[in-house]
Amino acid sequence: GAILGRSETQECIYYNANWEKDKTNRSGIEPCYGDKDKRRHCFATWKNISGSIEIVKQGCWLDDINCYDRNDCIEKKDSPEVFFCCCEGNMCNERFFYFPEMEVTQPTSNPVTPKPPLFNTLLYSLVPIMGIAVIVLFSFWMYRHHKLAYPPVLVPTQDPGPPPPSPLMGLKPLQLLEIKARGRFGCVWKAQLLNEYVAVKIFPIQDKQSWQNEYEIYSLPGMKHDNILQFIGAEKRGTSIDVDLWLITAFHEKGSLTDFLKANVVSWNELCHIAQTMARGLAYLHEDIPGLKDGHKPAISHRDIKSKNVLLKNNLTACIADFGLALKFEAGKSAGDTHGQVGTRRYMAPEVLEGAINFQRDAFLRIDMYAMGLVLWELASRCTAS
């Protein structure tokens, strides 16, 4: 039989601030339907605009463990942009409250990326190609300078074990709007999460390993960085027969560096900014950083660096995306994937094309650096500086 909450939810207060656009009723009482073996809840979302409460939506919410045994509708997150709460019991969402959980956090300092001492002089005195060479050499020096002296980590020859249970992004409703790109492992949608745009990468179930690997890389300690695509969440959608795997990240309207360079040329200053932020992102990815607040960040090899996997923010700051083929290197642990020749052929280093890869950490990081050099050449070929 069904395991019900403290009180079975049969109806909830209903309200939709966008009732005209959605062509629904504006307010009323909504009967809650669903499977008999699933719990039903009520929910409310609202905004606090200069002290004035503005309700966004109220209604029924299907089986969600975060709502179990909650008699009152209470938002506990600290200062969210849109408040959300859920509860169990008939019309329990008629009243809703905000009681933030107080947390004491210690300030953390992000690694500071030093600039080369002669960077400004080189910028104004040397030709563009020399400037690009400085950026490449600087990036290589940075990851060599900061990494720990760990012994080589060999890539294992056995198949990886079964992935852990898939995570759930959580409570907030998500609406797909339009397809922005298609790739080897699925398609990328522009979507709306409450009142902000996000990107949703949808994998078919046969590409579960790529989805799982990308989620695990994003979930490592220290993966929040200005030049790495911001991760929001992951979840499964659909029935057991027809399941899609979703990966939700920040959305950047300018899209990939490939698309941007097809439609635009860049000035010398724009070239330097894009190249420098790309190099910072890759150098940070390659770094092995112990002692972070949330744990030890291992060195990571991307293994598919290309202009299509570099996204541009509105100010042309670059961020690295797509970690479906990435490898992490942790002392005493296996690195994961066994395939040496992966990625996009036109960006592969000669040793990869020849099948002569040294399966050690430094070899994989150097392969990334080779691919980054080709991306920088693409960027230079669209520069207007003479």
Positions marked active-site: 304
Question: Which tokens in the block code for residue 238?
Answer: 């659909």
CA distance 64 to 41: 8
For 90, residues 6+ apart whose C-beta sits below 8 A from its C-beta are 7, 9, 10, 11, 12
**Cα–Cα distance, 164 to 112 (Å, whole number):** 34
Q: Are 278 and 227 in contact (CB under 8 A)?
A: yes
Burial of 158 (0-12, 13-18, 19+ CB in 10 A): exposed
Which are the contacts of 383, defined by CB distance < 8 A and separation ≥ 6?
A: 128, 265, 266, 267, 268, 271
Q: How far is CA 383 from CA 73, 272, 376, 386, in A?
A: 56, 10, 11, 8
For residue 373, the tally of other CB atoms under 10 A from its CB is 18
**In contact, 19 and 26? CB cutoff 8 Å:** yes
To which residue do tokens 């709460």 refer? 85
Residue 94 contacts residue 13 (beta carbons within 8 Å): yes
Question: What's the rounded Cα separation, in Å, for the pair 136 and 276?
Answer: 9
3-state secondary structure of 189: strand
Rounded Cα–Cα distance for residues 371 and 343 (Å): 10
d(CA 85, CA 44): 6
CA atoms of 245 and 243, how far apart (whole Å): 7
Task: Give, rounded to a whole angstrom, the gap between the first and last alpha carbons of the chain.
Answer: 76
**380, 129 Cβ separation under 8 angstroms:** yes
